[in-house]
Amino acid sequence: MSTALPAPAATFDVSGTPGIPFGRLVKVELRKAIDTRAGRWLVGVTAGLALVGDLLIAIILAVQDEALTYGDLVAGAAFVCSVMLPVLGIMLVTSEWSQRTAMTTFALEPRRMRIVFAKMVAGVLLTAFVIAFALVVGVLCNLLFGVLGGSLDWTFGWTGFLAFVATQTMAMLGGFALACLLLNTPAAIVVFFVYKWVLPGILALGAALMSWFNDIVGWIDFQAAQNELYDAPLTGQQWGHLVVSGTIWLVIPLAIGIWRIRRAEVK
Amino acid sequence: MTATALTTLDVSQTPVVPFGRLVSVELRKLADTRAGRWLLISIAALTLIVLIIQLSVVVSQDINATYADFMQGANAPMGILLPVLGIMSVTSEWSQRTAMVTFTLEPSRIRVMAAKFVGLIILALVALVIGLLLGALVNLLYGAFSGNDPVWGSVGKVILCYLVVWVLGMATGFAFGAVFLNSAAGIVLYFVYNFVLPAPFEIGAQLMDWFDTIRPWIDFNYAQGPLLDTTISGSEWGHLVTSGLIWLVLPLLIGVWRIRRAEVK
């Protein structure tokens, strides 16, 4: 007597399928950042505001007969970009949760860390794009300044350029880290703006009032530490300030945030 | 031969939803989700924390402080977060997709918006009471710890000024939310207006005399400065009204027009 073996359950063998290459993940994340109306407007508004800001600076200073260097124009554009780039970094992460696309994303690539790093790389690439745009706008506006009667001055230098790249990238990453920590768009945006615009004033006030606080504020204030980059080379202590304050505001939120994303319920 | 009458649901005699009920529903929406409740709790908690820090610094450094100074401290969290509450009260209706239900139950969108607005003003009044009480408590503690007599100044003027500041803040947030109908865009642009714009305004005022002259009339943040110092008087009220037309009334009108026409998704 022989019993028929039960038919093997149909299986879907993906063990031979290669993993998704990291480059493709980055490409997908880049596309996600700009192929919705919201994302495209964010990048567009950032670039547009940098253009308007530089145009205003060039025209006003030319009319008022003041001096202007290329470095000033880049600083103007950097000011605008540093407001919007972190928002881009925030939305890269949080929109995944608020728009409920996390389920699809993490089903297609279950290794969440790779997604987080792909998003980070995409954020850095977009930052590079905005920086390149700001530099070009600076050139055009400086030429405009010359046409309007100002004397052209191309003073900028590698120090300024490298500091500009570094501060913009850290601004974007700062937003990214807070977004990983909070996984909620409004909360991350509010906390980031408070950190960026309210906290320096409070820290300066505290330092002015209390001498013990004045001694430690350099180690806490990440933004003041970043501004030193424009006056490179840095002293050993300034590097120390940058590393310690950067650990507090960038590395720790990012570490907690990544731990949270690894464990967060995907809804 | 008789045709069967079509069953109809006759609501022509049903009275409209009373406005008071709409307001109470909108108030409830602000507080009965986890996000909303925590936002309210964190505003009050942050205010208390800021005041305690301010108190300890003032006492330990032997600085003279008045009731108005403590209210300025309380304004740090309140002034930032109340407008966010105003923005989210409008935009969450669109991002959480509850607008369909809301506008089906009350198709007159203007009434819903008015109810939201009234709900926010009520909340601003509650915030005012909490802020004033916490400020008074800290001022009394300051008197006890520092040995100085607590300075109350003109309490009526303090109440009036912060009533105006917080109602205006809430209303400005509401207006920004209505214009953009999107939490992220509303919050970012509100903060840009609130934190970033003063810098270019300041630079412009220093570079150009004519701009310096008109600045108080067009810079709503600048015009609110005398309110925070509780020193506002005379033409400064005029500054507040004209700049408010630009930054509060105009966005509010655009927002209401937009909400009347916006597709409910």
Task: State pLDDT tens for residues A17-67.
Answer: 888 899 999 999 999 888 888 788 888 888 888 888 888 888 888 887 777
Interface confidence (ipTM) of the complex: 0.83
Distance CA B112, CA B103 (A): 8
Q: Does residue A209 belong to the interface with chain B, where contact is any CB pair within 8 Å?
A: yes
The pLDDT, as a whole number, for residue A36 is 80
Residue in B closest to A198 by C-alpha: B195
* Alpha-carbon gap: A84 to the closest alpha carbon of chain B (Å): 8
- The residue-averaged pLDDT of A77-93 equals 85
Please tell me whether the overall predicted TM-score, pTM, comes out greater than 0.80 for this model. Answer: yes
Whether residue B6 is predicted with pLDDT greater than 80 in this model: the reply is: no
Residue of B118 and A82 predicted with greater confidence: B118
**How many residues are given for chain B?**
265
pLDDT of residue A49: 86
pLDDT at A191: 92
On the question of pLDDT at B22 being above 90, the answer is yes
Mutate to test the interface with B, among A37, A57, A87 (most CBs of B within 10 A): A87
Rounded to whole angstroms, how far apart are CA atoms B75 and B162?
Answer: 8
pLDDT at residue B120 greater than cutoff 90: yes
Residue A3 has pLDDT above 80, yes or no: no
% of chain B surpassing 70 pLDDT: 98
Partners of B196 on chain A (C-beta within 8 Å) are 83, 197
The pLDDT, as a whole number, for residue A2 is 58
- Other residues' Cβ atoms within 10 Å of the Cβ of residue B2: 4
Which residue of chain A has the CA closest to B50? Answer: A202
Q: Count contacts between A and B (CB, < 8 Å).
A: 58
Convert the pLDDT of each residue in A49-61 to its tens digit: 888 888 888 888 8
- Checking if the pLDDT of A5 tops 70, the result is no
Question: Do the chains contact at A197 and B191, CB–CB below 8 Å?
Answer: yes
Confidence of residue B51 (pLDDT cuts 50, 70, 90): very high
Contacts of residue B148, Cβ cutoff 8 Å, sequence gap at least 6: B64, B142
pLDDT tens for B204-254 read: 888 888 888 888 898 898 888 888 888 888 888 999 999 999 999 999 999
Q: Closest partner residue to A185 among B76, B183, B195, by Cβ?
A: B183
Name the more confident of A260 and A42.
A260
Q: Name beta bridge partners: B151.
A: B66
Residue A168: phi and psi, rounded to 5, are -65, -40
* Contact yes or no for B61 and A210 at CB 8 A: yes
* Interface mutation target, options B188, B190, B193, B197, chain A, most CBs of A under 10 Å: B188
For residue A65, give the DSSP letter: T
Question: Which residues of A fall within a CB distance of 8 Å from B35?
Answer: 184
Q: Which of A46, A95, A185 to mutate to test the interface with B (most CBs of B within 10 A)?
A: A185
